[in-house]
Amino acid sequence: MKNFLFILIFTASALVYAVPQSSSPTLSTYYYYELIKIDKKMLENRNVEVEADLLDLLDDDFESRSYNHAVLLKKYAFFLITQDRTDEGLLYLKAALKKRALEAIDTHNIMYVIAQITASQGNYQEAIDYLLEWMELGNNRKFALNPRGIALIGISYAQLENYKKSLFYISDAIERSNFFVEGWYELKFALHYRMDEFKLALETSQDLVRNAPKKKKYLDQMGGMYNILKFEIESLSSLEFGLTQDLLKKEKDYLLLANFYMYKQVPFDATKTLELGFKRNIIKRSSENLETLSNAYISSRDKIKAADTLKEASKLSDKPELSYRLGQVEMSLSRWDKAIDSFKAAKTKGWKKEKGKIEYFIGISLIELEKYNEASKYLSQSVSMGQEKIAKPWLEYIDYLEKTSG
């Protein structure tokens, strides 16, 4: 939470010191320089003085819609939040908004922050109200809408047991996001299941299996949905017959059959089904479908085909998970240069999970290529990002090699 709040305070500061456009409201020279002094004290952790200075400035006389006053209220709000005085900070953020004097982008950002805080406090309807205003303002002004904000609407509606609206917004967030966010798919699955939409729940469980193939609970969920839908021997035999006779004409039938083979732990049959669907031009060569095929290849221990398929999938998608998984497969094939390229691509695409792991894997690959100086650099980064337990032994190994090589 604190890291998030520090981002907020610096975002706020950036807005204060941005060079104003001709049509934008401007901060008076006096308050501009006073806030610079306050920021210097904040960097020096002179927080008692910071608060006293801000309160002193807030005691000045302001017009009802003063831009100066609104900026000061916002500044003090973020200061309070970083001091773990969130309830007080929230009051000042709302006061800043009520001035209706801030620039639209600033108002947009503050609405989002207020919604996050109110949702964390369990005030879900209030969070929804602010987020709907945030969406409306963003759409009107063509501001970027963070999918996490839209997901928060869905999560809040779920807490209020309005499952239909929750499903609408969580699906919208998933559609807009370039990243796989596991919790969003879990909520979507739960909502479909709660609303007795079992076929859609099955499709969502298949998405979860495709994106998190090592998690058994998703395989179990998918199996449960197959059982509910009574997709058993009769249905399987019918689809298998249709496949051999070239009677299956819909992509979903091929995918359903392939996923069922995966659930029954016969991945070789899954690969053959998918390959045939691609060959017949019935299955679209989308990143999602290619990812499903790569998972089947991995389960079949055909790592070369898995790598080739993941490479094609990663070219069609901005999902960093695909490049990351490709890097892991390339490492298992001892193709170190290709592994490094894949991990770097994942980082470029915005990989944020398991900080330091990419640097660790690149470091290991560089050791295999006997590029010890570069390896040391990446492994040191990995240590600094929290992976000391796994990365430090390799740094010690490099140190040992350097001492004994002479």
Q: What are the 10-residue block averages of pLDDT along the chain, 406 residues in total?
A: 41 42 70 85 85 84 77 89 89 90 91 95 95 95 94 96 96 92 96 92 89 82 80 63 72 85 86 93 93 93 94 92 94 94 93 88 93 93 90 88 73
How confident is the model at residue 38, as a pLDDT? 85
Question: What is the rounded distance in angstroms from the CA atom of residue 165 to the CA atom of residue 74?
Answer: 32
How confident is the model at residue 100, as a pLDDT? 87
How confident is the model at residue 134, as a pLDDT? 96
How confident is the model at residue 164, as a pLDDT? 96
Question: What is the rounded distance in angstroms from the CA atom of residue 227 to the CA atom of residue 236?
Answer: 12
Question: What is the rounded distance in angstroms from the CA atom of residue 378 to the CA atom of residue 304?
Answer: 27
How confident is the model at residue 2, as a pLDDT? 41
How confident is the model at residue 121, as a pLDDT? 92
CA distance readout (Å), 209 to 132, 185, 269, 339, 385: 32, 11, 17, 24, 29
Q: How many CB atoms lie within 10 A of CB 341?
A: 18
How confident is the model at residue 212, as a pLDDT? 86
Both tokens assigned to 188: 């979507």
How confident is the model at residue 20, as a pLDDT? 42
* DSSP at 383: I
CA distance readout (Å), 394 to 299, 311, 373: 30, 29, 12
